Amino acid sequence: MTVVAVAGQGRRFVLTDVLDAATQVFWRYGYEGTSLTMLTDAMGIRPPSLYKAFGSKEGLFFAVIEHYNATHGRFVAEAFAEEQSSIGITGRILRGAARHYARPEFPGGCLVISSAVTVAPDNQHVADRLADMRNTNAAALARVFERDITSGRLPSTADPAQLASFVGATLQGMSQQGRDGADSTRLESIVALALNALPKPTE
């Protein structure tokens, strides 16, 4: 447990607690739809404490994104770390998304996908940074598809970049359906169709 002391104010708060609270707000209302008042009310701190700890709303947002990826979204990193094949990684990610995106106790969908879909020009860099994160994951998945194609585990006719793009598009669609209220059963049916559309291992 990390306790943060705010200089000059004698205030202390548990970092994970305030990040959990801020995550819920950003996740539900998006980056631009979230005000500082909404954040400080949810976090139980005053604006000076937020600025001392995180520098700005944007600084808090990306601290939330890092926290989200390490908690709610950790199934992605776990899939890359623990699965051996590209199809195994893909299945693990998609099934994890089906469970995560539909959890009724959270706003639904994926924070990294949904929190900055449209932004004003002044905040385009926020959306671009999230897009870079998604593109980094897609590139990592393309590399494992390419590895399996090169090794003969997948057919030589498969295109690694196209496969990674297909998986990314599937995740984005599942995220929106989760926000629209789809349950895990419905999302799992999408996963089954997506996995069936992938090339079959040759061994």
Looking at this protein, which amino acid is placed at residue 12?
R
Looking at this protein, which amino acid is placed at residue 95?
R
Q: What is the mean pLDDT of residues 158-183?
A: 97
Q: Is the dihedral of CA 162, 189, 78, 172 positive or negative?
A: positive
In terms of Cα–Cα distance, which of 55, 16, 178, 158 is closest to 111?
A: 178
Q: What per-residue confidence (pLDDT) applies to 14?
A: 86
Per-residue pLDDT at 189 exceeds 60? yes
Please list, residue by residue across 2-26, b when 16 or more beta carbons sit within 10 angstroms of its beta carbon and e when fewer do: eeeebeeeeeebeeeebbbbbbbbb
- In the numeric block, the tokens 């980094």 are attached to 136
DSSP per-residue string spanning 123-148: GHHHHHHHHHHHHHHHHHHHHHHHHH
CA distance 34 to 24: 10
Q: What per-residue confidence (pLDDT) applies to 165?
A: 98
The token pair at 97 is 């998304």
CA distance 48 to 151: 56
In percent, the amount of the chain with pLDDT more than 70 equals 94
This prediction's pTM? 0.90
Q: How confident is the model at residue 2 (pLDDT cuts 50, 70, 90)?
A: very low
CA distance 164 to 169: 9
